[in-house]
């Protein structure tokens, strides 16, 4: 069997043409690179952020060939998701994203925090479930949630607890649009901070 390995793009090619696995790996690499760029260049000028995206993220997404065509369709949404999040970052929309994830090992998981009245705060886990988590994940540019996390599973936040008794129908695009007790109204401590684990663009399940 003939195997090629490219050190610039972590991709193995073989006569078996197991392209789907390789495409999925490339998408994961692109998503991780985008997370790295966001963490390190988030407060930099737009031009520098664009350079970071174009040099570290975009090459992963552009590494393709006609041999992928028959295997690409089911991965297209994953690739487009990374591209959309990259575009939002370059256009500065991530600088003051009204929702963020904190305390997770990966970019797509963590304690949910929302930005209101000039300060970041948490959400109480009362009634926090998969439908609520889906809305938070979509707001962050992910497709949906793997699970809703309660009891400060990603650590306790500090400062404000902005929302309590959040009950989303599942179709909302913003957590603040979901039914809740009112901004800043709660009966919780930070030991009840809510979190999510979203489906990363590189995962299909």
Is pTM, for the whole model, over 0.75? no
pLDDT of residue 38: 74
**Does domain 99-198 correspond to CATH entry 3.10.250.10?**
yes
Least confident interval from 27-41, 56-70, 158-172: 56-70
How far is it between the farthest Cα atoms of the chain? Answer: 64
Question: 36 burial class (0-12, 13-18, 19+ CB within 10 angstroms)?
Answer: middle
What does the alpha-carbon distance between residue 23 and residue 142 come to, in Å, rounded to a whole number?
Answer: 18
Average pLDDT rounded to a whole number, residues 109-114: 96
Model confidence pLDDT, tens digit, residues 4-46:
334 444 444 455 555 566 667 777 777 788 777 777 777 677 7
Show me where the domains of the chain are located.
Answer: 4-90, 99-198
Query: Which has the minimum average pLDDT: 49-63, 103-117, 157-171?
Result: 49-63
Contact indicator for 136, 177 with CB cutoff of 8 Å: no
Q: According to the model, what pLDDT value does residue 107 have?
A: 86
């Amino acid at each position: 069997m003939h195997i090629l390995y490219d050190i610039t793009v972590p991709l193995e090619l073989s006569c078996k043409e197991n392209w789907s696995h390789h495409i999925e790996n490339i998408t994961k690499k692109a998503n991780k690179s985008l997370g790295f760029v966001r963490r390190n260049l988030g407060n930099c000028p737009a031009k520098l952020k664009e350079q970071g995206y174009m040099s570290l993220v975009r090459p992963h997404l552009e590494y393709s060939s006609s041999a992928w065509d028959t295997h690409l369709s089911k991965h297209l949404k994953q690739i487009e998701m990374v591209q959309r999040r990259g575009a939002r970052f370059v256009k500065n929309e991530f600088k003051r994203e009204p929702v963020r994830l904190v305390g997770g090992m990966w970019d797509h998981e963590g304690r949910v925090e929302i930005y209101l009245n000039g300060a970041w705060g948490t959400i109480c886990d009362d009634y926090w479930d998969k439908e609520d988590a889906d809305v938070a994940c979509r707001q962050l540019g992910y497709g949906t949630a793997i699970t809703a996390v309660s009891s400060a599973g990603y650590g306790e936040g500090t400062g404000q607890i902005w929302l309590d008794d959040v009950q989303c129908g599942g179709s909302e695009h913003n957590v603040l649009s979901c039914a809740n007790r009112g901004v800043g109204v709660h009966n919780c401590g930070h030991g009840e901070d809510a979190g999510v684990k979203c489906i990363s663009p590189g995962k299909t399940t």
